[in-house]
Amino acid sequence: MKRRTILGSALSLPAAWAAPAPAQTAPPPAETAVKLAFDSPEAAAAGVRRFFDETEFAALERLGRLLIPSAEGLPGAVEAEAALFLDFLIGQSPAERQTLYREGLRALHAAARQRWGKAFAAVSDEEAAPLLAPLRQAWTRSAPHDPLARFLLAAKDDFWQAVANSRAQARALSGRRRGASGLGLYWHAAE
């Protein structure tokens, strides 16, 4: 121990004895104590839809299933719960982004009703193909003028990001190879 440390400790002892003791307070009476309701962590962590209404959310889920299906052991939009994440993300986004999504989902729903007489969430893959035709157009530097095409491009990018960064994707990729966190090199002690 250094001399300075001992000297500093010895000098602080008289100050600690001279300090007044903290006042003792009685605990609050039992009837005024706050009672907290506890729930399981799984219930708190479960996603709760908040921004989109039922029809919009069903259309968003269907769009995710069409854009990013599961393949070769990798999760798709459904397994990654990308629609729930996008519901949260768009709910926290600027009004312009919220309007883009709301109007885009309503346009998909209206087009499906007009063409097949059913909601977009209920259309088959073949029936949805003409509605998703703007995604097959050649890429350009400028955004498309059609609001539905702008929405579809934004949604495709957002779904891709949500799936690529999901916990389900990380689990699937880490199970495929031994060295999930790097080059697969291992440290061995020298003998």
The whole-number pLDDT of residue 103 equals 95
Flag whether pLDDT at 183 surpasses 50. Answer: no
The whole-number pLDDT of residue 186 equals 44
Highest mean pLDDT among 18-32, 35-49, 174-188: 18-32
Average pLDDT over the chain, rounded to an integer: 79
Helix (H) or strand (E) holding 149: helix 147-164
C-alpha neighbours within 13 Å on the C-beta side of residue 106: 9
Percent of the chain with pLDDT over 90: 46
pLDDT digits (tens, 9 = 90+) for 122-150: 999 999 999 888 888 777 777 777 888 89
Residue 118 neighbours by CB under 8 Å, 6+ apart: 112
